[in-house]
């Protein structure tokens, strides 16, 4: 159904109405389309203002058991999640989206990814502080370095392989057939979560653990048949 010629302000107001019958969703999709397809800054701003509260609530939800409590950290995570969404949610994804729920599921997965990455950063800082404590307490530096060498090597590999990892993720992302697979790929391959962890974090997105196993198996089979991924693997084997 073609929408009348509405201003961004009108679209934003109609989208924010949140009608019980879901009639507001087409206006929200139109805002996302203006932002993603047309690249209109005023549409991006409207999307941000309409959904910042929702994204903030997701950040708080995923950070409930963490040390991420300061308001500035929560704000940073919210902004990082929006930035990840803007970078990753393409016209092709929007065309395949099954309504507003699919778009918001991807946005929610961006929030979860950013929270998990921040959690890893905190743990890494704790390890670094522990390293400082050990050396200052009298343990020879070479022994401490040896104890942490595996972690340092892993960090070096991540830094050195960042461009290759980005290219690999683009290939994986292109093999996803629908928004749920995009979410599953991000949580499985980027965040390295098990199906049990995924269902505990997003119980309303998937029926059960078995469905996640099935979807992930189908996606992996598709990835194994992808010629670009096979070429990438041959090059880096």
For 142-194, write each residue's pLDDT tens digit: 554 444 444 444 444 443 344 566 667 777 778 888 878 888 887 787 667 77
Quote the CA–CA distance of 185 and 180 in Å, as a whole number: 9
Q: By CB neighbour count within 10 A (0-12 exposed, 13-18 middle, 19+ buried), where does 30 fall?
A: middle
Mutual orientation of helices 8-16 and 41-62 as an angle, nearest 10°?
30
Tokens linked to 137: 């307490």
pLDDT in tens, 4-60: 688 999 999 999 988 888 899 999 999 999 999 998 989 998 999 999 999 999 998
Question: Looking at residue 152, what is its pLDDT?
Answer: 41
Model-level pTM? 0.59
DSSP state letter for 204: T
Question: Looking at residue 158, what is its pLDDT?
Answer: 41
């Amino acid at each position: 159904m073609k929408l009348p010629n509405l201003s961004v302000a009108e679209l934003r107001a109609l989208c924010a109405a949140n009608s019980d019958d879901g009639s507001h969703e087409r206006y929200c999709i139109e805002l996302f389309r203006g932002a993603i397809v047309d690249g209109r800054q005023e549409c991006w701003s409207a999307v941000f203002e309409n959904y910042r509260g929702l994204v903030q609530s997701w950040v708080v939800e995923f950070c409930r058991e963490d040390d991420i409590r300061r308001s500035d950290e929560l704000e940073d995570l919210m902004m990082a999640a929006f930035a990840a969404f803007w970078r990753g949610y393409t016209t092709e994804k929007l065309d395949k989206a099954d309504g507003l729920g699919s778009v918001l599921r991807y946005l929610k997965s961006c929030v979860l990814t950013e929270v998990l990455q921040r959690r890893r950063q905190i743990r890494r800082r704790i390890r670094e502080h522990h390293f400082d404590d050990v050396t200052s307490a009298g343990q020879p530096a070479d022994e401490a370095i040896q104890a942490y060498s595996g972690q340092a090597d892993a960090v070096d590999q991540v830094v050195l392989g960042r461009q290759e990892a980005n290219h690999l993720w683009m290939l994986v992302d292109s093999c996803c057939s629908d928004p749920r697979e995009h979410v599953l790929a991000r949580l499985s391959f980027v965040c390295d979560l098990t199906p049990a962890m995924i269902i505990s974090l997003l119980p309303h997105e998937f029926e059960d653990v078995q469905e996640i196993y099935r979807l992930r198996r189908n996606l992996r089979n598709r990835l194994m048949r992808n010629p670009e991924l096979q070429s990438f693997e041959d090059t880096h084997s």
